[in-house]
A and B are shown apart, each in its own frame.
Chain A
Amino acid sequence: MTEKLTVATTSLAGCFGCHMSFLDIDERILALAEVASFDRSPLTDIKHCGDKVDLGLVEGGLCNAENVHTLREFRKHCRILVAVGACAINGGLPALRNHIPLEECLDESYLNGIGVENPQMPNDIELPLLLNKVHPIHEVVKVDYFLPGCPPSADTIWKFLSDLAAGREPSLPRELIHYD
């Protein structure tokens, strides 16, 4: 038996919808388990990558310093890195805040927004510093493949994974390319 493909996933500034879509491959996950084993992932609750990961799937964009750190570490361990979904590819809905100065966003959320009680700016040392703008991941690390969609459909994810597992160059037909 050939060695199994090692797959890792991580979620940055996203909504976890892409991970949910991944789980929507349903019973096909059994076929995937025949050829792949999971490393770091919110699904396995493993926090850091092992030494060798063949395929890393990244959901979400970069909105804070921790996202950047996580992404760089993830990239270092993954032979092939895949941007999964709109947030990883173009910032997605979190990037809607890019129109508004960060100070105004925080003011609206924590100090003077409608319905805010006990206004105070969060200032815990464990809170990662926000970036001025939300960025897609290809602006920070090299990305090998992109799966567009919000989220990409389970069929899109499956087509990509099954192509790769079979040793084919992954390709998406037009029907599987959607940005929303």
Chain B
Amino acid sequence: MKPSIQIDGKPIPFAEGQTIMEAATAAGVYIPHLCHNPEFEPHGSCKLCTVRVNGRNCSACTFPAADGQEVLNDTAELNELRRTITELLFVEGNHLCPSCEKSGNCQLQAAAYFLGMVDAHFPFFYPARELDGSHPDILLDRDRCIFCELCVRASRDVDGKNVFAIGGRGIDSRLIVNSPSGRLADTPVAATDKAAQVCPVGAILVKRRGFEIPIGERIYDRHTIAEESLEREEPIVESRHD
């Protein structure tokens, strides 16, 4: 008999080596997440995918599935926790959706919609972060960075260029680029690189694409992040374990 876990009381089969997130996604169960992307090794930093496993809170994207686990996912308590985490992400950056061309395609925004966030609750930090427009094809707006490290992982593991890293600590954390001048223009990054495409928010944008799709027809105008994630991520999860 295939090993399985229970998510919110529903039996979910899994393959050896799969995380709870991977098993859930393959079975069509959405667990909210931001720093997780099935194309990359799990990072476990955003904590949006926190689930309760046998009574303990764990990150679903890093926690391995094990036979008989009882997992709570879609509960009022966990969704409240996730909403609070999302609110904190909003106040720790400068996420002013009306001024962002990623609006409608932004996973942070879509996660907040999904979780019913109507305000950010906490006092805003309004951090001062440097914008880098030096590259001819890529804009780096550090205001919107949520430190998911997807660009770091993509540049290192896929592009083989090691362009991005997170520098500093706490509220002084910032996305840095690997060039003598510290400017994006002086790195080998290109608009076709995975690192330039993978940002879930509007921190790394390929220039001259902002209004290709009108507002109202963008990804999360048409689908919830749950629908979109399950449709987009399931086949990739399966291929990783073939």
A residues with CB within 8 A of B: 83, 86, 89-93, 95-96, 98-99, 133, 135-136, 138-139, 143, 145-148, 150, 172, 174, 177-180
Q: Mark B143-178, 1 if CB is under 8 A from A, else 0.
A: 100000000000000000000000000000000000
**Contact call B124/A179, Cβ cutoff below 8 A:** no
Say which residue of B98, B100, B109, B118 sits within 8 Å of A147 (CB atoms): B118
Q: Which residues of B contact A177 (CB under 8 A)?
A: 113, 116-118
Say which residue of A92, A95, A96, A146 sits within 8 Å of B119 (CB atoms): A146
Q: Which 10 A-B pairs have the closest CB atoms?
A: A179-B97, A146-B119, A150-B98, A180-B97, A98-B126, A146-B118, A180-B103, A180-B98, A89-B119, A148-B118
Q: Which residues of A contact B95 (CB under 8 A)?
A: 90
**Contact call B98/A93, Cβ cutoff below 8 A:** yes
Q: Closest residue of chain B to A135, judged by CB?
A: B124
Q: From residue 68 to 96 of chain B, which have CB atoms closer than 8 A to chain A?
A: 90, 94-96
A174-B103 contact, Cβ under 8 Å, with A83-B119, A90-B120, A139-B123: no
Q: Offer 18 A-B interface pairs, CB within 8 angstroms, sorted by A.
A: A86-B96, A90-B96, A93-B96, A96-B96, A96-B99, A98-B94, A135-B124, A136-B120, A136-B124, A138-B121, A139-B123, A146-B118, A148-B118, A177-B113, A177-B116, A177-B117, A177-B118, A180-B97
Within the complex, the shortest CB–CB distance from B131 to chain A, in Å, comes to: 9
**Contact call B114/A174, Cβ cutoff below 8 A:** yes
Say which residue of A86, A99, A133, A174 sits within 8 Å of B97 (CB atoms): A86
User: How many A-B residue pairs lie within 8 Å, measured between CB atoms?
Assistant: 75
**Contact call B118/A150, Cβ cutoff below 8 A:** no
Measured between alpha carbons, how far is A133 from B124 in the docked complex, in Å? 11
Q: Which residues of A contact B98 (CB under 8 A)?
A: 86, 92-93, 150, 179-180
**Contact call B124/A91, Cβ cutoff below 8 A:** yes
Measured between alpha carbons, how far is A150 from B98 in the docked complex, in Å? 7
Within the complex, the shortest CB–CB distance from B100 to chain A, in Å, comes to: 8
Say which residue of A99, A139, A145 sits within 8 Å of B128 (CB atoms): A99
Measured between alpha carbons, how far is A83 from B126 in the docked complex, in Å? 19
Measured between alpha carbons, how far is A138 from B98 in the docked complex, in Å? 20
Q: Which residues of A contact B213 (CB under 8 A)?
A: none
Say which residue of A83, A138, A139, A174 sits within 8 Å of B113 (CB atoms): A174
Q: CB of B224 within 8 A of chain A?
A: yes
**Contact call A174/B119, Cβ cutoff below 8 A:** no
**Contact call A174/B224, Cβ cutoff below 8 A:** yes
Q: Closest residue of chain A to B103, judged by CB?
A: A180
Q: Which residues of A contact B119 (CB under 8 A)?
A: 83, 89-90, 136, 138, 143, 146, 148
